[in-house]
Amino acid sequence: MGLVRYVFLFALGGCGLFPDLGGLSGSDASVETGGSDVVSQDVNAEGAPPTPTYCATQDATFCEDFDEADGGYLDNWSTPSVGDGNTVTTQTALVTSAPNALVVEVPGGNTGGASLWKDLPPNASEYDYSFSIRFEPYSAGSGYVLWGQIEVDNTDAFTEYRFSTYNGGTKFEAHVYYPDGGNTVAGSPLSTTFNAGQWYRVDEKLTVSPPPAKIQVMLNGIQVLSTTITQATDGPGTAEFLAGIYHTSGVTGTWRLEIDDVVMRVK
C-alpha cells in the first residue's frame, strides 16, 4: 500500500499481546448506548437453537463480530499492526453482541498503533463502513489518535480517510498524498463528539468515484457530517481498512477503545 507501516505479525498467546481475558464476565453484557441500557444475551432457553452471531445476520463484503468460538478472529484479517507495548485482544466485559468485542490500547508515552487491517477488492467506487466503538476516559494531555481508517491507493497517489480524536472533539480527515510527492490534510469537525464510557454506532459512506471524494458519517443513526473532499482526486484503486488505533501523537495518557460488530460493504 502507499503508506509504510511497521507491521508486527504475531499469534495468539505467542508474544503476550493477546492475554486471556475471558473470565471478566459471564454471558450477559449491559451496553450503554446514547444514555440507554441494552442487554445483549447469547443464552437461549433449554432446547432452543443457538442465537445466530451478529455476522451471521449480515450480507456484507466483510463482517467481524469477534465471536469466533475458537478465538480465531485473527484469521479473518489480512494483518495485525501493533506497536511495541501496545495491545490488541478481545474481552467479554463490554460488548454490543456477546460474547466478545475487540479492545485496543496504547499506554501513555507509547507511539504507533494497535489495529487490525483488512485488504479489500480493488477498484471499488463506494465503501460503506460501520462499527460500534467505545472510548475509555482519557486525559486532556493524551494527544490524539487516528482510527476508523480506509486507505485507497491509485497508481500515483493515495488517500487515508480516517477519524481523529483529541481533547475537545473528533474530526474526519483525508490525508491526501499527490503524485509529485506533496501531501495535504483536509479536516472536517463532526457536529457532535464521542463521550467516554458510551457505545456509539458509526456508519461511514465514502464515495471515491467519480472524484472528488464524498463522505457521509452517521452517529447512532444521526448524520454528523456530509461533505465533498475537493483535495482527494485520486479515485478508485487498491484499498484496505482498519479496526483499532492507527496512529498516536503526543501521547502522555492512555488511549483504550472497545470495538465490535465491524461491517464493510464495497460497490
Three cell numbers, residue 23: 473470565
At residue 21, the pLDDT reads: 34
Residue 211 in this model has a pLDDT that exceeds 80: yes
Does 10 reside within a domain? no
Residue 44 binned pLDDT confidence (cut-offs 50, 70, 90): low
Three cell numbers, residue 6: 511497521
Distance CA 9, CA 140 (A): 32
Does 30 reside within a domain? yes
What's the first-to-final CA gap in the chain, in angstroms? 20
**Confidence (pTM):** 0.81
Q: Domain of 98: which CATH number?
A: 2.60.120.200
Does 158 reside within a domain? yes
Task: Dump pLDDT digits (tens) for 173-210.
Answer: 999 999 999 999 999 999 988 999 999 999 999 999 99
Assign 266 to helix, strand or coil.
strand
Distance CA 39, CA 136 (A): 20
Q: Tell me the residue range of the domain where 196 lies.
A: 22-266
- Number of structural domains the chain divides into: 1
| Residue corresponding to grid cell 432452543 | 48
Does 246 reside within a domain? yes
Give 102 or 45, the one with higher predicted confidence: 102
Q: Compute CA distances 101 → 12, 73, 136, 146, 197, whole Å.
A: 16, 10, 14, 19, 15
Does 191 reside within a domain? yes
Q: How far is CA 180 from the centre of its chain?
A: 30
At residue 46, the pLDDT reads: 65
Distance CA 36, CA 72 (A): 32
At residue 19, the pLDDT reads: 37
Does 37 reside within a domain? yes
Distance CA 205, CA 61 (A): 14
Distance CA 201, CA 189 (A): 18
Does 13 reside within a domain? no
| H, E, C per residue of 164-231 | EEECCEEEEEEEEECCCCCEEEEEEECCCCCCCCCEEEEEEEEECCCCCEEEEEEECCEEEEEEEECC
Average pLDDT score over the chain: 85
Distance CA 54, CA 31 (A): 15
At residue 42, the pLDDT reads: 45
Task: Dump pLDDT digits (tens) for 130-189.
Answer: 999 999 999 878 889 999 999 999 988 999 999 999 887 899 999 999 999 999 999 999
Distance CA 252, CA 135 (A): 16
At residue 194, the pLDDT reads: 93
Does 5 reside within a domain? no
Residue 45 binned pLDDT confidence (cut-offs 50, 70, 90): low
